[in-house]
Amino acid sequence: MDVTERDALIAVDIQVDFLEGGALGVAEGSRILPIVNRLMPLFRHVALTRDWHPPDHLSFTENPAYRDRSWPAHCVQSTPGAGFAPGLLIPTHAFTVSKGTHVDREEYSSFQAMEADLTGWLRARGVVRVFLAGLATDYCVRFTALDAARQGFQVCVIEDAVRGVAPQTVEEAWHEMGAAGVRRIHSRELLHGPAGARSDAMPAGVD
Ligand code: VGL
Ligand code: ZN
C-alpha cells in the first residue's frame, strides 16, 4: 500500500508517562518508537497528540484501578512525564493536539480536544485517510479511530505501532474498531511515501 498525499499519520500520546516505567506505563510501549520513526517521513501530514492534564484532572485517583476514569496521575501539563518520548523523531511540520486539558472533561479521542481542531486541520489539507499509531490501543487510539471513522475518514490502525493497557480491553477495542470499518494493518505494508513527503525532523527532548 502506498502512502499518498491524501493520507495523514496521527501519532497518539507517545509520551514519557505511557512508556515502561512511566506514571501510566504501557507494557512494551517503547517498542513502537523505531516503527513510528520509520513511518513519519513517509507522510506529508503528521499530527501528534498528547494527553495534557491539569494536576487535579478528574481521571486521577489515589488507588487507581487502571481503567476508565481511574488512573494514577499522568501527563500533567509541563512536567517531564508529559513530554514526547525521547528519541521520537518529530517532523518540524507536525501539528500538535493537546487534549484532556480541562479538569472536568476526559478526552480520550484526539478529535474531542477543545483547543485544537484536528478535523479542520485534516480537511484543510485534503486528507481522506488517516493512519494511527501510539498509546494506548484500548483508550486513546481506540476512541480517536472511532471518531475519525465517524467524521468520514478512512481509518487504518497500525497494529505493531500501538500497545495497550490490558489484554481484555485491547481485544474489545479491536472488535469495536473493526465493526466501525477501521482497518488493522501492519507497518510493513507501508513502504513508500508520496513525492515531496517531508523528512525534516527533530528528536523529542532536545531543545
Ligand atoms: C490514555 C488513559 C488515560 C491514553 C490517556 O492515551 O490512551 N489512557 N489517559
Ligand atoms: Zn489521560
Enumerate the domain spans of the chain: 7-195
Topology (CATH) of 7-195: Rossmann fold (3.40.50)
Is the CB of 71 inside a 6 Å radius of any atom of ligand 1?
A: yes
135 closest CA partner among 32, 57, 60: 32
Going by alpha carbons, the residue nearest to atom 3 of ligand 1 is: 71
Roughly what angle, to the nearest 10 degrees, separates helices 142-150 and 167-179? Answer: 10
CA 89 from centre of chain: 14
Going by alpha carbons, the residue nearest to atom 4 of ligand 1 is: 140
What pLDDT is attached to residue 207? 45
Mean pLDDT in the chain? 95
What pLDDT is attached to residue 202? 81
Is the CB of 82 inside a 6 Å radius of any atom of ligand 1?
A: no
Q: Which residues lie closer than 8 Å to 207 by C-beta, 6 or more apart?
A: none
φ, ψ of residue 181 to 5 degrees: the values are 90, 10
Q: Which residues lie closer than 8 Å to 4 by C-beta, 6 or more apart?
A: 129, 194
Low-confidence ranges of the chain (pLDDT < 50): 207
Ligand nearest the Cα atom of residue 145: 1
Ligand nearest the Cα atom of residue 67: 1
Residues annotated as catalytic are 13, 99, 140
Is the CB of 139 inside a 6 Å radius of any atom of ligand 1?
A: yes
What pLDDT is attached to residue 115? 84
